[in-house]
Structure 1
Amino acid sequence: MGNRRVLILTGRADRHSDVMVSKLGSMSCEPIRLNAEDLQECAEFRMELRDGTWSGGLALTNSRRFIHAGETLSIWFRRPFYYEFPADLQHYERRFVAAEREQALQTLYSSFQCYWMSAPEALRSASWKGEQLARAARMGFAVPETLVTTDPGQVDAFYAKHRGQVIVKSMAGAGAMAGRLGPDPVPAPAVRLATRMLTPDDLRRLDSVKVAPCQFQEYVPKDYEVRATVVGADVFAAEIHSQDDERTRVDFRDFTADVVYKATVLPDDVRERCVEFVRSYGLEYGAVDLIRHPDGRFVFLEVNPTGKFMFVEQRVPELRITDAVADRLAHGGSAHG
């Protein structure tokens, strides 16, 4: 293994990266953490193209490290969420600077001989929730009947068809409020865009769907939910007994509820389909959410290509997801083939 360098692209407030830096350090690796917010003050691009090859790289002035163009390393594209900028830049100037930073970073990335978990182009292709559902159905998963619309009449009809058993669910998630442009002059409120049941009161305010496309799905009954974390060819599956508490019956992500999590082994066909689905995007990692229907089917909800896993591991310590991610980064993906 040697003293392999592992570049972690993330943000300052990322507990997963804190733990991974420590873990990789204990494995005789050299973890290099790059927070997107630090690019302005703590990183200098120094790249030059000669005879078709990039030289130089990125100097990290806060750690006195240098990331060389063309070097061999592993990269964990964790969650580089937003940039910071000089305070006097206007919003349109920030957009321009952000775009130029992306160009420079992609130039540097393209020079590496590296193992990605996962490559930016793979992450982007896996980010479209509607496409995920269609792909999952083609690959043999059961999926909920889904409506994406800005037409109030369609919502009414969908609600009637499913006898009021309909959920409303964000496609982009709360992260879309932050974007990549840094703090807004008027900060967005701290909100959790929970999946919830559509109510009769919502039907009286359906004109609001004209503002932005909204996603509605048939409500799928649950025995329990499953978070299947795919790392390479390995699947770490946890049952989440969300139906044991009113707060988690529709959306298990209310962590104030103390519901049971336990390790499980998925049926072979479901486990293999999860791996195949994640790999179909070129991903090395994916957090797959499933519902176990009372009739025994496993229903696909979505995959998050940079989904959190520590909340699962903390509740089910035998699912050693941190070790699996670190192992692949330390070995350049070759540990498990």
Structure 2
Amino acid sequence: MTRPGYKDIARQAGVGTATVERVLNGRGGVRPELVEKVVIAARSLNYPRILPDTHRGLMRIDVLMVRPETTFYRRLSRAFEQISHSIDPLIVVHRTFVEETSPKDIARAISQSDYPRAGLILAVPNSPAVKAAVNEVAAKGTPVVHVVTRASEDHVEFVGIDNHAAGRTAAHFICRMARTEGPVVALCHPIYQVHRDRLRGFSDYFRDNPGPIRFEWLGFTRDEEHFSAETLSIALQKYPNLVGLYNAGGANSALIEVLRRSGRGRDILFIGHELTDYTRTALREGIMDVVLDQAPEAQAQRALDIVLRRIGLTEIEPDRNPIRFITITAESL
């Protein structure tokens, strides 16, 4: 027997195939009575997919993120989209990008919604306004999960890597792998608590392991291409004998280009975050030495698992340990 398709379900339910597609993929915009017809028809045809109890109606989980132009957040967004296709089709995972530098806009997006939310997943920077908005939503009983970075220290369900450990790992590699003795610099975007956590771990390692390889300077980049390139150029002028570079944030492509043009890329041990086309190429060229990837796909899955557990759609208790970051070198590509 062949697998039933959208046309078969549409014929059985007396609706169009577009309606079937919207219901089974959780896209919303379908009247509850039609949702019920589609689900009943799919069940009667033994459609090979988990189908929901129709009496619940649509349940919406909002995901708020920033910076859609970055590879990391594109990966995170794509992961939420892909996972949403494999869960209960009456659960709608709605992704929205908000302006990173506007706490008021972020807070407004958290507080205001045109429909009831079953859960809220946040990958946004923290601020007093954002924290207040999170507390307001959580006080109403909406499950809130922070991904990648904490938007609030209160009501925290946090999914992410151990950023302090990531910073210590970067320092460990530099101290062990640097090609000669000398100064080390680090770059970050201080708006994010997780970047500060990484730098704290990085600094702690050098404090605990004093030696001829020294952490001497910290630059702030805003995770923006122009500022990142300018900051690294200043560091190269300031430290002509630079032996190590750690980028705790983004904009690796700009740093890679500066090192490539300077001719010093193979002399400076460079460690950064997130595997992208740029960092993969830089690893192969020997400009980057180690990439610490924080597995956004695993973070998206864990965050949705926590929300589904909180709203009673699964009895499986999600793992609460930090997501394991992945260490990548040219030899492991």
| TM surpasses 0.5 | no
Smaller-chain TM-score bracket: 0.3 to 0.5
Higher helix share: 2
Superposition TM-score, scaled by structure 2 size:
0.38
Give the alignment's TM-score, normalised by structure 1: 0.38
| Greater C-alpha radius of gyration | 2
Greater relative contact order (Cα 8 A, min sep 6): structure 1 or 2? 1
